[in-house]
Structure 1
Amino acid sequence: MKVVTTETPLTQGVLLAGGLARRMGGGDKPMRTIGGRTILERVIARLSPQCSGLILNANGDPARFAAFGLQVVADDVPGFPGPLAGILAALDWTAANRPGIEWVLSAAGDCPFLPRDLVARLHEARERESAQLAVAASGDQTHPVIGLWRVALRDELRHALVVEDLRKIDRWTARYPLATVTWPVEPLDPFFNANTVEDIAEAERLAALDDAA
Structure 2
Amino acid sequence: MTRPVGIILAGGQATRMGGGDKGMLALGEKTLLQHVIDRLGPQVDGLALNANGAPSRFAPFDLPVIADSIDGFAGPLAGVLAGMDYAATKGADTVVTAAADTPFFPTDLVTCLQAAAQGMAHPLALAATPHPDRNKLRHPTFGLWPVALRDDLRAALNAGTRKVVQWTDGHNGRLAMFPSEDAFFNVNTPDDLAKAQAML
- Does the aligned pair in 2 maintain the 1:132–1:177 contact within 8 Å? no
Distance in 1 separating the partners of 2:120 and 2:67: 33
Distance in 1 separating the partners of 2:80 and 2:177: 21
SS at match of 2:187: coil
Counterpart position of 1:165: 160
Is 2:185 the partner of 1:189? no
CA-to-aligned-CA distance 1:26-51 (integer Å, 9 cap, x gap): 01011111112101010000011000
Distance in 2 separating the partners of 1:28 and 1:95: 27
- Does the aligned pair in 2 maintain the 1:122–1:134 contact within 8 Å? yes
Which blocks of at least 5 consecutive residues in structure 2 are unaligned?
132-136
Deviation at residue 130 of structure 1 after TM alignment: 6.8
Deviation at residue 131 of structure 1 after TM alignment: 6.7
Distance in 1 separating the partners of 2:28 and 2:130: 25
1:111 to 102, 105, 109: 102
Deviation at residue 114 of structure 1 after TM alignment: 1.3
1:21 to 14, 18, 32: 14
Counterpart position of 1:73: 66
| Runs of at least 4 residues off by over 6 Å | none
Aligned length: 195
Letter of the aligned partner of 1:60 in structure 2? G
RMSD: 1.3
1:180 to 161, 165, 175: 175
SS at match of 1:153: helix
TM-score of the superposition, structure 2-length normalised? Answer: 0.94
Q: Percent identity?
A: 48
User: What is the correspondence of 1:36-75 to structure 2 with a 5 Å cutoff?
Assistant: 36-75=29-68
- Does the aligned pair in 1 maintain the 2:48–2:63 contact within 8 Å? yes
1:132 to 116, 119, 123: 123
SS at match of 2:184: coil
CA-to-aligned-CA distance 1:72-99 (integer Å, 9 cap, x gap): 0001110111111111011111112x11
Counterpart position of 1:144: 140
Counterpart position of 2:76: 83
Distance in 2 separating the partners of 1:105 and 1:165: 23
Distance in 1 separating the partners of 2:126 and 2:195: 25
Distance in 2 separating the partners of 1:29 and 1:15: 12
2:149 to 150, 153, 168: 153
Letter of the aligned partner of 2:102 in structure 1? C
Letter of the aligned partner of 2:186 in structure 1? N
Deviates more, 1:130-139 or 1:82-91: 130-139
- Does the aligned pair in 2 maintain the 1:12–1:104 contact within 8 Å? yes
- Does the aligned pair in 1 maintain the 2:114–2:123 contact within 8 Å? no
Distance in 2 separating the partners of 1:40 and 1:79: 23
